[in-house]
Each structure stands twice: as structure tokens, then as C-alpha cells.
Amino acid sequence: MIRHIVLNMLEGSIQKKMVLFALPIFLGMLLQQLYNIVDSVVVGNVLGKEALAAVTSSGSLIFLMMGFVNGLFMGASVIIGNRYGAKDHNAVHIAVHTAVAFGLLSGLLLTAVGIVFSPMILRLMGTPENVLPNSVLYFRIIFAGGLGNVMYNTCCGVFTAMGDSKRPLYYLIISSIINTILDLLFVAVLGLGVGGAALATIIAQMLSAALAFIKLTMVEGPHKVVLKDIKIDMPTLKQELSIGIPNGIQNSVIAIANVIVQSNINAFGDVAMAGSGSYFKLEGFAFLPITSFCQAITTFTSQNVGANQIPRARRGARFGVVSGVLLAEVIGVCFFLFAPLMLRIFIDDPEVISFGTRQAHIESLFYFALAYTHCMASILRGVGKTKVPMYVMLACWCVIRITYITITVHFIPDIRVVYCAYPLTWSLSSIIFTIYYIRSKVFNDTELKPA
């Protein structure tokens, strides 16, 4: 059965293989985004705008805490795909078990850090006092389930590295249904408030992680998990971290920048928080084609580089970039046209909808630049050049973004100044990546070799 699920990225039609690989990821991310939005829809319509602000402002803080750990496992995925492409099955086995062991340790650490430091970070973000208690409660419950989030990403990273993007979709379908049912039960029926919404989310995450892990112990192939073999192989971990740490640092520092951006939004009050938070929930849909094709690009590139099929890797990367950019921009145009209608899903408050609509009109037509940046970064990660995207994104999405907001908002205290930071820095990073790709001749590098 495994042959029908795992795609062979090393031969056959590039376009067909990448689309077939990206489509389940797209559908899975769509379901994940939908069940994240369920929290906001139920909370906004049942509990009101203050509770909605507490839930929807969670994105930057959650990504700050979980982004680094999950970014680390990008390295494991690249190494596993690279070794699988080179047909070194024993090395794949070692890499998988090292990733799982490290995931367990990282998930436990993340849980402890998130529970302890959430209140402090929320205060540093300038969260209004009327929103703070619900925000602290929501974040602490979410981080209590941090192990589920990390282990789900770890296990699904193993599947996708092997060319299997369907199993993660199956688990997400189940967990999405469970999350929706529990959201309605905990919030609308039992009246558990924002804590109930958070509890529904972590139960769904834990379930999907358990299903993915159990399946890894049952599959046939070099990626099968054997419980007694779950341990860290230090040389392999060093390889995985050499690729994963730059990605993790990039995620975390960008998240810190977004926390600072969120702090500027918070200064405009809970209505602005609810409006922007609702918009960010919708913006997550723009990431769906980006994420799906980025994972396809990284897996396709790492496997074909491992098999020393450089021309095929180059063609696949180009197709992935074009597809990701076009799909993201189509979504951006839809958001620009229908933002007020879509925002009304969360709450029927004219002020909240006005803030969200303004942000959509400033940012959504620039989704092509956001997609292009992530796709180019995925190419470089696939060939093992993870430091370049880290440097580019830290410079553009962190240093320049924060500097721009800090200086400009001081002179022009208008929330639209904050919104403009995103398209400006997306565009700048796109230009830099284009110049680097052309000048460095990435796929002509004679040092490309299996890990």
C-alpha cells in the first residue's frame, strides 16, 4: 500500500509529481486553517470582541514560541529526503529516529517555557488589561499542548520528506472534525469561554500527533519508527541542526518582529486588535498555496540533489515558484475584493470590520511577493543553503520592518503605517532573493552532494 501513497520524486513528470505532492498539503493546511478559524468564529459570535481580541492576537506569540522548534525540524526533513534520494536506507532510519527523539525533548521544553513566560511576553506586547486575563489563559492552555504540536510536525515532516503528503491530510481531516465539535461543545454549550476554545485545539492537535506517530511505527520502509531505536545520533543531529537552526532562528526572530508589530497594533485598542487579528486569520489562507508548494519544492529539491539529478531539481524548483506565486496572488485579489464580507464571519461589528478591511486593502495585492520569498527560501533550503534565507529574512522582515515602524509611527500615528510594513518588506526580500539566485547560480554549485 505504501507504494501508492509515497510519490517517487526522482522520475516521471515533474509538474504532475509536484502537484500531486502539494495538493494534499494544500488541503491539509486548508483544514488546519479552518479549524484554527473555528476558535475565532465561535468565540467572536458567542463571547464578543474582547474575547475575540484575546484569541486572534495569539498568532505572533504562538509562532514565536513554536516557530523555532518547528523550524529546527525543517533540517531533519531535508536530511531525510536527501538520504532517501541517495538510497541510503540505514542513514534514513537513523535520521528519522534522531528527529523523533529530539522532537519529544523539544516539545516538553516548549510546554514548560510557554506556560511560564506567556504572561510576561503578553505584557511586553502591551496587551490591554481588559484582554490580558483571557489572553494568558488561552496561551497557557495552548502551550500545555505544545508537545502535540511539535510531534505532529515532526512525524508529518518524516512523511513529507519521503514523498508522502497524503497521510498528514488524513489525520488533519479527523482532528479538524474533532476540533469543530469540541469548540461548539466547550464554548457554545458548556460556556467554558476562551479556555474551552484553547482546550478544543490542543485535544485535536494531540490526536493528530498520536495518529501520525502510531502510523510511523506501522509503515514498511526505512522511515518506520522502532520504539527501542528512538535515540539521538549526535553526528546526524548536528547535520539536522546545521540546516534547522538557521530556519528556527529565522522563524523566531521574525516572530519577535511580528510581536513588536502586534504591540503597535495593540496601542490602537481592542477594536484594532480584533480587526487585525481577524484579518491575520484570513491571511492564513494566502499561506496555503505558499506552504504547499514550498514543502514540495524543498522535498523535491533535496531528494533530487541527493540523487545528483541537478537539472531535474532546477526544473522542479522553477515550476514550484511559478505555481505558488500565481495561486497566492489569486487569493490576494479575492481578499481585496471581498474582505468586508469575509471579516463579517468573525464578528458583526462595523469598527472591527473597518480595521480588518483597511489592512486587507493595503496588504493583499502583494501576496505574490510573500509567496516568491518563501519559495526562493525553500529552494535554498533544499540544496542545504539555509543561512542565506535566514540572513535575508532577518534583515528585511525583522531589522528593516521594526526600524520602519518605530520611526514612522512616531511621526505618523496611523495604523495604516503599521500595515504598510508587510508589503514593503516582502517586496524588498523578493528583490534580494532574485539578485542572489541569478548571481550565485545555485544549481550550478559543484559542492551540491548528498548529506
Q: What is the distance of C-alpha 7 from the center of its chain? A: 23
Q: Tell me, yes or no, whether 302 lies in a domain.
A: yes
For residue 295, being part of any structural domain is answered with yes
Question: pLDDT tens digits, residue range 183-194?
Answer: 888 887 888 877
Q: Which domain holds residue 234?
A: 13-441
Bigger pLDDT: 120 vs 43:
120
Any domain includes 129: yes
Q: Per-residue pLDDT for 424 more than 90?
A: yes
**What's the mean per-residue pLDDT of the chain?**
82
Q: Is the pLDDT of residue 280 over 50?
A: yes
Per-residue pLDDT tens digits for 215-257: 999 988 888 999 999 999 999 888 888 888 887 777 777 777 7
Structural domain contains residue 408: yes
C-beta of residue 201 within 8 angstroms of C-beta of residue 58: no
What does the pLDDT read at residue 49?
A: 66
DSSP assignment of 192-221: -HHHHHHHHHHHHHHHHHHHHHHHHTT--S
* 1 is a domain residue: no
Neighbours of 132 (CB within 10 A): 16
How many whole angstroms separate alpha carbon 204 and alpha carbon 164?
Answer: 22
In a domain, 93, yes or no: yes
Residue 449 lies in a domain: no
In a domain, 280, yes or no: yes
CB 362 within 8 A of CB 416: yes
Q: How many folded domains does the chain comprise?
A: 1
Mean pLDDT of 192-213: 87
